A and B are shown apart, each in its own frame.
Chain A
Amino acid sequence: MAKNLAGDILTVGGKALTSRLFLGTGKFANNRLIPEVVSASGSQVITVAVRRIDPEYKEENIVDYIPDTCIVMPNTSGARNAEEAVRIARLARAAGCGNWIKIEVISDNRYLLPDNIETIKATEILAAEGFVVLPYMSPDLMAAKRLAAAGAAAVMPLGAPIGTNRGLKTKEMVKILIEEVSLPVIVDAGIGRPSEAAEAMEMGAAAVLVNTAVATAYNPVAMAAAFGLAVAAGRKAYLAGPGAVQGYAAASSPLTGFLHE
């Protein structure tokens, strides 16, 4: 059944979002690009690594480049276990970055795959402390359910290993999360092209998060705009309810039509 196209709002942590494209900031050639990229994409949620935030050095403080209209979602990039993620999250809040936190716990430096077990532990602690917790995870149903039970505000499964631009390689697993987890499912990592973002949205993902695909594009601002359009188009297609996929041709002059005459 087609869903309501009007007033399509994503609510996360009590915030109403009209854009379903989240942006990362870690790989740009110049932080001064960030406002332009944000504006072109229409994104309202921008993630920034706490490891890179330096409030003491205004000239190079990445947070100063994020428009005031956006929600800053600090992330715990660099954390190797739950304890480190919790400490980084508390640092972010103490630095005035609000109470949203994207948990990234990675203890594999070859592929940068998230550690779901440590992520669940960190989520339990931080949700109990009042953070709006958005955990980056490997798309595993039981882990997603535990994250939901631990108080996560959304789950953020990877589409492919981070930074690879390989697309939605985990499509089947992400689809299961979308069907079975009550929280918004935000596809984070691996999305390399706007068409892949659109595909994730058509599947019913609540949002997608992109960094490398925009930051390493020849024209990051134009690519950000393309992602903004693709995410909106994918969402609209999802809400419109795509037609069924047939395994055979549906003839316009059916052979058994006479039975209805």
Chain B
Amino acid sequence: MTTNEIHEKLKARFGDAVGPLSEPKIDPFAVVRADALPEIARFLRDEPSLALDFLENLSGVDYPKRNVIEVVYHLFSYGLKHGIVLKVEANREDPRVPSVEAIWKSANWMEREAYDLLGLVFEGHPDLRRVLLPDDWEGHPLRKDWQEHGGYHGISNVRENPLVELRRLDEIARAEELKRNPPPPPPPAAAAPAAPAAPSTPPAPQTPPAGT
């Protein structure tokens, strides 16, 4: 079944809850309403002519300008070899989306990942915890306005260029070495450079004092 046919089938069943299929800019997708998502997901999996049994990918994409975080579902059917891409738009201030964990178990970890990195809350998820970042991490790094803290538990994530640091250490070592073994006083030959200067300004010949 082509993506268009799957989409028409969804449209016939759920009406306004399913948006139009986007223009095929490489991969087309359809936006669905968040509250209808669990029903749509169940229909997609259980309807024998669709049988989309594989949630291939679930990712969140942040769009601060539209004040929206999109959740993107890539669905695929092993048996019928067709698929569709659905999107749900969540409000960026309070992003809540119903969980599809009960329909595809693979959503469990992928929803945890999206919660961790983008702060999406999946309602109905049995165990929504951070998965990649530490439990006490603050913020959601894949949001576009996320700022680095500059450190974590007192460990700075800003380092001086190690080469600069090495050069500084070298200079300290050299200064100490100089202090311990001061260089020998310059040999008397150091005066030599002055000597060649002499011919350039020859001393005026001693004129004998004018005698009377």
Q: Do A and B bind each other?
A: no
B-binding residues in A (CB < 8 A): none
Name B's A-contacting residues (CB within 8 A). Answer: none
